[in-house]
Structure 1
Amino acid sequence: MLFDALLEILSLHLVPAYVGLVAYPEKLQALLPNTWHLESHDKIVLWASVAIALFFAIKLLVNARIGLARIHFAQQTAVNLSTRLLDAYLHAPHEYHLQHNSAELQRNLNSDSVQLADQLLIPLGDLLSQGAIILAVLGVFLFYIPVDVLAVLVGVLAVAGHAVLSQQHRLQQEGKEVQQLRGRLIKNTNEALGCAKEISLLGRQKFFVERFRDLFSRLTRHQRHIQIMAGRLIPGGIELATIVALAGMIYLLFRQGHNSQEVLELITIAAVGLARLKGSLSGFMGAHSLLEHKRAILDAIHADLAELETFTTMTTDHETAPAFRRELALADVHYRYPGSDHDVLRGVNLVIRKGEAIGFVGKTGAGKSTLIDLIMGLVHPTAGKLLLDSRPLHEQLPAWQRQIGHVPQLLSLVDGTIRENVALGLRPEQINEAALLRAVEQSQLTELVERLPDGLDTVIGERGIRLSGGQRQRIAIARALYHDPEIIIFDEATSALDNETEAEVIRAVDSLKGHKTILMIAHRLSSLRQCDNVYNLERGKIINITHDKSHLTPREGRATQ
């Protein structure tokens, strides 16, 4: 920034010097010793022209290099911030994700993070750079132009600057509206594409298309206001101010009795300076307006980082010996979701011993999945305690969670190969082939993999769209088994499987009994025949425990697929 200003000072001195040399070569001779004699006027002009052209060429290259360094710094800062943001989201408590729409998080990570560099950090660098250049130009003016004449320039520019700055609050509000509308657009698009099949069957395309058009129209209206203000009115206002200032300076110089030659010399300096000042002022005001408009982006990212980065310290780097040697105990546990006025779980008392197979059954909304979230440490009890081997669970949470394999009710598969989905989050060279094949076999996926031409390297499509529901479920089971966990949790894991496949999975689960601790959730007791104990939940409380399940039939209460 200071180097930019120094180059501008030199250029402002060189241009009038060059003009004076060309127009009045005798002045240069008067400054030289008597023994020095100038060559012809043509050669003087030639060498002066070459010198000033070379200076401005060097200035161009230096400015380009400075600009490149500034852009690199801004983009690298944006990369670091967005990376920190994703890391913070992935370490955030489960309650945070329950309270925030994924469209908002996508907007912050994708749209806002990209704009952070291009429309916030780079303009910030421009703001500082142009501010330094403006001060440098005004400093040169002080050297050449009388103070009272310069006061005209400063006064006119101050009025123009005040007029521009008075609109900053409006630009800031427009920026907030734009950010909110971007998030709602992403949300609408996700909902429309995610429910495309149901929307088509119901004939509801018009609702989503019209809502998309309305949101997009409002977004472009706000952006139009911002573009007119920052791209037209501000530069045009600065140009008008510089012309008025120049005309006022010329008038005042003649009024003060300066002759035409003196006025020409001063106006040459003023014109060159004002030309540069106009560009710098336009850049300064434009960057300032853009910063006000985009400040909402930085505010949102800063707020999320300030709230969430404390959770990123919960890593595996400092884990000690494996947890869960004897039992996990829940003592009078209550849980209430943030913003809710009633407890989802009420006074739950439960002991899970190592090696047991435990089942949970109950109607929808009974609290089964919430109880499992508590056991996994994804949420924390509103009241009561969770004790792992007689110590508070939260003191051993990372070690505990690394021993859990979870098969969720709602599957999340990546648009990649079967191998990538089973060994989720590992680079190809990190994948343990033996562990992969073991997990595939235990989840009854071997036959499917052998039928596919590309085997484990078969691409399954977005959310596993190229597979059946049962096949997707078995990939999720294989993922849970890949890292050979101590505790395996099935959250309605067999709900999408046919009779035969479910029986195979149940046999695989049976083979793990005694070696692993198994927790299973189901709506029906018939799905939990292999469990040692089955807890029945109703309205957030355990109402009874079933120990003897010999009377249950293999398909009790289950419709044939």
Structure 2
Amino acid sequence: MIQNSKALYWRLLAYVRPYSRIFALSLAGTAVVALTEPLVAALIKPLLDGSFVAKDPDSIRTMPLVLVAVFIVRGVADFVGSLAMGWVAHRVVMDLRDALFARLLTLPSRYFDDHSAGNLLSRLTYDVTQVMTAITQALVTLVRDGLAVIGLLAWMLYLNWVLSLLAFAIAPGIGLIMRVISRRLRRLSRELQDLMGELTRVIDETLQGHKVIKIFGGQDYERRRFSRVNNRVRQFNLKLVAASEGSGPLVQLLAVIALGSMIYFASLQSAADQITVGGFVSLFGAMAMLLAPIKRLTKVNEHLQRGLAAAETIFALLDEPPELDQGERAIGRASGQVSFRAVSYRYRPEGPAVIRQLNLEVQAGETIALVGPSGSGKTTLMNLLPRFYEADGGDILLDGLSIRELRLAELRANIAYVSQDIVLFNDTVAANIAYGAAFHTDEADLIRAAERAHAMEFIRELPQGLNTLIGENGARLSGGQRQRLAIARALLKNAPLLILDEATSALDTQAERKVQYALDRLRQGRTAFIIAHRLSTIENADRIVVLDRGAIAEIGTHTELLAQHGLYADLYRMQGERSAAESDARF
């Protein structure tokens, strides 16, 4: 949503309010610098009329000292004002990044489905830096040069109001130019931000998929894709420069025309002894000194519009509604009874139903295996339980309470989750396992959980043991090692509900047997949902639920389902034939 520029800037300045004293100091320093501009022009008149025309001894001695004093004050004020403004700007940028990051942590999963990681990274990096220019460079220029222009014009009016009116004649032309350029700069800045998000997305995808790119020879394709976006970024930057720089010569042309007219009429007045030499030079100097601040004021529009365009995207993200968390019921540690009652879900309102009127009663401590063809809704159903997504219809109950009535923190504290896509953090082994206890644990508990997941056997061989950094998403570990760390994290949480999304998929046969034994012990007395692709791993489940196109097709034990000769029996037979073929191929 496009927001009003004034409202955007006021909202941006609200982040300055906590630092109002430092901000006031910066504005005071900037104001002093601005006021010295007309003061220098004003000193020219007594300097010429007193020192060179009247040859006044006092004027000859004092005027050079006054000029030196003015520039000392100007230098100190400029340093203090710039330093204070920079301090405030960087604090605001830090606060905005903190606010953006905090908002990202609360957004629903569907938001991340609709927005690429690259675009979100661009908001926290590129867009925030653009906002800083609107706070620092733009604001300093507006205050300093705005006051300087006002002061110089006031001095010119004081010296000769008739000639000064010529300077005011260019104001409508400057205003029209600024209005046209502002609109173009804002539009180009928005488009450039979108392109920067796309550029970041391409880089992120390339870094994440570098192995796939190499194995399939995609380097040339990715290079062309990056160059295409990179070139568009260059083109839009050039358009921004052209729009910004184009306004400067036009404004200066109007100013020079006014200046030439003033010189002509001032010469006529001087010939008629209506203006002194000092007054004429002071007036001419003030008019000449107007050119630089006017030029800077026209150029600041680029930084201001870039900052406002960035503020639009930043505040749009900050205004995104967080996950629904309106529940007020506390549940403590649940027993683990789960009821799915006529649950339905679709990813898009106009899309097909992924889960269709599903009913399932799960007793506390029961192990439920979810199987079915790809796209049957197994993972989606499990994503509804911790409310990563909100069911469109029906309800899910935990111990007889609707999960919508529970606080999200309460609900998720009762669930441990191990997905097939292992997520680890660029931290130590201990820190990754400690996620399972919200970091409130001791080393003995960490080691116990790691041993039960059969992870200590490789952790002891790492350079710093539990304190070893594992790299981005565990890049320094094997797939099986990453999987066992994730299982150790779930073991440490000791939750009454377990969701295991093919939790042993990355393990070799020997490691899988060890971890499977640990998981079997862990499931005792807990409710477990196992999403299985290898049917041999769930033969001992209490019940197997076979999903097909979002609905329950079959339900029963392994033996019962095989006897029915239905979908499960077909899946089991096909998987056995594939395993036999792979075994024959090895020999």
In structure 2, the residue matched to 1:16 is 42
> CA separation of 1:415/1:213 partners in 2, compared to 1, >3 Å: closer, same or farther?
same
For the residues of structure 2 that align with 1:100 and 1:330, how far apart are their CA atoms?
Answer: 30
Report the number of matched residues.
543
Residues 187-216 of structure 1: CA distance to partner in whole angstroms, max 9, x if unpaired?
222222322222222222211111211111
| Alignment partners' CA distance in 1, 2:283 and 2:436 | 62
1:58 aligns with 2:73: yes
Tell me, yes or no, if the aligned pair for 2:133 and 2:304 is still in contact at 8 Å: no
Letter in 2 for 1:513: R
Q: 2:112 aligns with which of 79, 97, 116?
A: 97
Among 193, 203, 207, the alignment partner of 1:179 is 193
The aligned residue for residue 68 of structure 1 is 83
> Which of the numbers 111, 121, 131 marks the counterpart of 2:146?
131
Q: 2:264 aligns with which of 251, 272, 277?
A: 251
One-letter amino acid of the counterpart of residue 466, structure 1: R
Looking at structure 1, the residues matched to 471 and 100 of structure 2 have their Cα atoms a distance apart, in angstroms, of 27
1:199 is aligned, of 208, 213, 217, to 213
User: Which residue, 385, 396, 400 being the options, matches 1:386?
Assistant: 396
Q: State yes or no: 1:412 paired with 2:420.
A: no
Cα deviation per residue 1:28-72 (whole Å; 9 max; x = unaligned)? 99xxxxxxxxxx82x753443223212221222112212222222
Query: How well do the aligned residues superpose, as a CA RMSD in angstroms?
Result: 3.1
1:498 to 476, 497, 508: 508
Distance 1:349 1:541 in 2: 9
The answer for the alignment partner of 1:274 in structure 2 is 287
CA distance in 1, matches of 2:137, 2:379: 47
Structure 1 match to 2:497: 487
Deviation of residue 227 (structure 1)? 2.0
Aligned to 2:340: 330
> 1:550 deviation in Å?
9.8
> CA 1:125/1:254 → structure 2, altered by over 3 Å: closer, same or farther?
closer
Instruction: Classify 1:195/1:6 alpha carbon distance in 2 versus 1 (closer, same or farther; 3 Å).
Output: closer
The answer to whether structure 1 residue 188 and structure 2 residue 198 are counterparts is no
Paired residues for 1:243-392 under 5 Å: 243-256=256-269, 259=272, 262=275, 264-308=277-321, 310-311=322-323, 320-322=330-332, 324-325=334-335, 327-338=337-348, 340-392=350-402
184-193 or 11-20: which moved more?
11-20
Amino acid at match of 2:256: I
Query: Which one of 444, 448, 456 corresponds to residue 434 of structure 1?
Result: 444
Question: Which digits, 9 at most, give the CA deviation of each residue in 1:384-420, with x for residues without a partner?
Answer: 1122233321221220112222111112222333223
SS at match of 1:409: coil
CA contact (8 A) 2:366 2:542 kept: yes
TM-score, normalised relative to structure 2: 0.84
**Contact 2:269-2:275 at 8 Å conserved across structures:** no
Aligned counterpart in structure 1 of residue 172 of structure 2, from 147, 158, 163: 158
Structure 1: which amino acid aligns with 2:158?
A: F
SS in 2 for 1:24: helix
**How far is the alpha carbon of 1:155 from its aligned partner?**
1.4
Is contact 2:419–2:501 with CA below 8 Å preserved after alignment? yes
2:470 match? 460
CA contact (8 A) 1:417 1:460 kept: yes
What does the per-residue CA deviation read over 1:414-440, in whole Å, with 9 as the maximum and x for residues that have no partner? 233322322349998x65323321221
The verdict on how the C-alpha distance between 1:296 and 1:319 changes in structure 2, with shifts beyond 3 A counting, is farther
Distance change (3 Å), C-alpha of 1:141 and 1:439: farther
Aligned equivalent of 1:34? none
**1:74 and 1:313, CA in 2 relative to 1: closer, same or farther beyond 3 A?**
farther
**2:395 matched to 1:395?**
no
What is the match of residue 224 of structure 1? 238
Conserved 8 A contact 1:21-1:28:
no
Distance in structure 2 (CA, Å) of the matches to 1:409 and 1:73: 45
Q: CA deviation at 1:367?
A: 0.3
Aligned to 1:84: 99
Over 3 Å counting, the alpha-carbon distance change for 1:241 and 1:385 in structure 2 is same
Amino acid in the other structure paired with 1:58: V
Deviation at 1:346, TM superposition (A): 0.4
2: CA distance, partners of 1:102 / 1:534: 36
Give the CA deviation at 1:352.
2.9
Deviates more, 1:543-552 or 1:522-531: 543-552
Where in structure 2 are the equivalents of 1:504-523 lying within 5 Å?
Answer: 504-523=514-533
Q: TM-score, normalised by structure 1?
A: 0.87
Displacement of 1:354 in angstroms is 2.8
Measure the CA separation in 2 of the matches of 1:229 and 1:469: 52
CA distance in 2, matches of 1:452, 1:3: 57
Compared CA separation, residues 549 and 135, structure 1 to 2 (3 A): farther
Aligned partner letter, 1:336: R
More displaced 10-residue stretch of structure 1: 132-141 or 202-211: 132-141
For the residues of structure 1 that align with 2:325 and 2:140, how far apart are their CA atoms? 32
Could you give the per-residue CA deviations for residues 514-541 of structure 1, whole angstroms, max 9, x where no partner exists?
3433221112332113432221111101
Q: What is the DSSP-based 3-state SS (H/G/I as helix, E as strand, rest coil) of the residue aligned with 2:421?
A: coil
Contact 1:5 1:136 in 2 (8 A): no
Please say if residues 173 and 293 of structure 1, whose CA atoms lie closer than 8 Å, have aligned partners that are also in contact. Answer: no
**Residues 167/17 of structure 1: CA separation in 2 closer, same or farther (3 Å cut):** closer
Q: 1:217–1:26: structure 2 CA closer, same or farther, 3 Å change rule?
A: closer
Q: Structure 2: where are the runs of 5+ without partners?
A: 1-26, 563-571
- The answer (yes or no) to whether the contact 2:427–2:471 under 8 Å persists in 1 is yes
1:149 to 151, 155, 163: 163
Q: Is the 8 A contact 1:406 1:488 kept in 2?
A: yes
Deviation at 1:383, TM superposition (A): 0.8
| Contact 1:157/1:242, CA 8 A, preserved across alignment | no
Question: Per the alignment, in what secondary structure is the counterpart of residue 167 of structure 1?
Answer: helix
Query: 1:527–1:340: structure 2 CA closer, same or farther, 3 Å change rule?
Result: farther
Q: Secondary structure at the match of 2:170?
A: helix
Partners of 2:198 and 2:71 in 1: how far apart?
A: 49
Asked if the contact 1:253/1:263 (under 8 Å) is kept, the reply is no
Aligned residue number for residue 566 of structure 2: none
Question: CA offsets, 1:218-240, max 9 Å, x none?
Answer: 1111112212332x433434443
Deviation at 1:134, TM superposition (A): 2.8
- Secondary structure in structure 2 of the residue aligned to 1:477: helix
Paired position in structure 2 for 1:37: none
- Secondary structure of the 2:169 match is helix
Alignment of 1:534-545 (within 5 A): 534-545=544-555
Following superposition, the deviation at residue 120 of structure 1 comes to 5.7
The alignment-based identity, stated in percent, is 27
- Report the residue type matching 2:258 in the other structure: A
Contact 1:188 1:212 in 2 (8 A): yes
C-alpha spacing 1:417/1:471, structure 2 compared with 1 (3 Å) = same
Residue 391 of structure 2 aligns to a residue whose secondary structure is: coil
Q: Matched residues in 2 for 1:250 and 1:502: separation?
A: 92
Letter in 2 for 1:503: R
Question: Partners in 2 of 1:527 and 1:425 — Cα distance?
Answer: 24
**Residues 486 and 281 of structure 1: CA distance in aligned 2, closer, same or farther (over 3 Å):** farther
Paired with 1:486 and 1:167, the residues of 2 have a C-alpha distance of 62
Distance 1:426 1:140, change over 3 A: farther
Greater shift, 515-524 or 14-23, is seen at 14-23
Superimposed CA distance per residue, residues 233-284 of structure 1 (whole angstroms, 9 cap, x where no aligned partner): 3343444333322221121233456646825333433344334433322222
Q: Which runs of 5+ in 1 are unaligned?
A: 30-39
In 2, are the aligned partners of 1:120 and 1:295 still within 8 Å (CA)? Answer: no
CA distance in 2 between counterparts of 1:426 and 1:514 reads: 20
Tell whether the 8 Å contact from 2:544 to 2:556 is kept in structure 1 after alignment: yes
Alpha-carbon distance change, 152 to 472 in structure 1, aligned in 2, over 3 angstroms: same
